[in-house]
């Protein structure tokens, strides 16, 4: 493992991590995985977003001006 990791310029820890993924999931385990969070606990609820957008459309002069870029 040490020689292989040296050849590819990675640490032994990374080499073992890749080997374990391959052992558990096969070739699919070697594909890049999304790093995006599965859940966002502080995300604004959809109902509140809709309410704000509805009120913004009813009262376009309230709040900051929209940028026209």
Per-residue pLDDT of the chain (69 residues; tens, 9 = 90+): 999 999 999 999 999 999 999 999 999 999 988 889 989 999 999 999 999 999 999 998 888 876 655
Which residue ranges make up each domain of the chain?
Answer: 1-31
pLDDT, residue 60, reads: 87
Check residue 54 and give its pLDDT.
95
CA distances from 56 to 46, 64, 68 (A): 15, 10, 16
Cα separation, 15 vs 4, in Å, equals 8
Q: CA–CA separation, 29 vs 31, rounded Å?
A: 6
Sign of the dihedral through C-alpha 28, 29, 32, 33: positive
Q: Given CA atoms 53, 54, 57, 59 in this order, what sign does their dihedral have?
A: negative
**Residue 65: per-residue pLDDT:** 76
Model pLDDT, residue 67: 65
Q: What is the pLDDT of residue 33?
A: 84
């Amino acid at each position: 493992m040490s020689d292989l990791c040296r050849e590819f310029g990675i640490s032994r820890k990374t080499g073992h991590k890749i080997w374990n993924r391959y052992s558990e999931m096969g070739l699919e385990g070697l594909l890049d995985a999304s790093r995006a969070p599965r859940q966002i606990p502080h995300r604004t609820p959809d109902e509140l977003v809709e309410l704000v957008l509805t009120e913004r459309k009813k009262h376009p002069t309230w709040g900051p001006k929209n940028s026209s870029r």
